[in-house]
Amino acid sequence: MTSRERWTVYPLLFLAIGLAIRPGESEFEINTEVLSSSQVRCRELLIESDDGTVLIHMGRVVEGGGGRIEVKDSSGENTVAIGARPGESFGRVEFFDDEGRLRSVLDGLD
């Protein structure tokens, strides 16, 4: 390879490598019927019904709290929530009434 070819090829090579590894928003959507994986890593997981109602919400859904799982009824109202609240280091299970209001709590204090 001549010197002139090197001055052409190497800068293009470094440009291509730099563009390939640069950080950026890589948000995209995959539509599939079945997904098999040994591990799924994400910040949030939503399970929706056919009409778009959120039935299960997993993630950091409470500001400053730890992980949390919320199970909802067919209308999208909370029924059960498992996780930690902000400022608390223990887990709890919360039960809600038909209108999504908190009814009772099982926590790690007893």
Domain spans of the chain, in order of start = 38-107
Check residue 26 and give its pLDDT.
64
What whole-number distance in Å separates Cα of residue 95 and Cα of residue 110?
17
pTM equals 0.60
- The SS3 of residue 19 is helix
- Res. 71 pLDDT band, cuts 50 70 90: very high
Which of the pair, 63 or 34, is modelled with greater confidence?
A: 34
What whole-number distance in Å separates Cα of residue 96 and Cα of residue 34?
32
HEC per residue, 20-87: HHCCCCCCCCCCCCCCCCCCCCCCEEEEECCCCCEEEEEECCCCCCCCEEEEECCCCCEEEEEECCCC
What whole-number distance in Å separates Cα of residue 5 and Cα of residue 9?
6
What whole-number distance in Å separates Cα of residue 90 and Cα of residue 57?
20
Give the N- to C-terminal CA distance of the chain in Å, as an integer: 76
Please compute the mean of the pLDDT values over residues 65-80 and round it to a whole number.
87
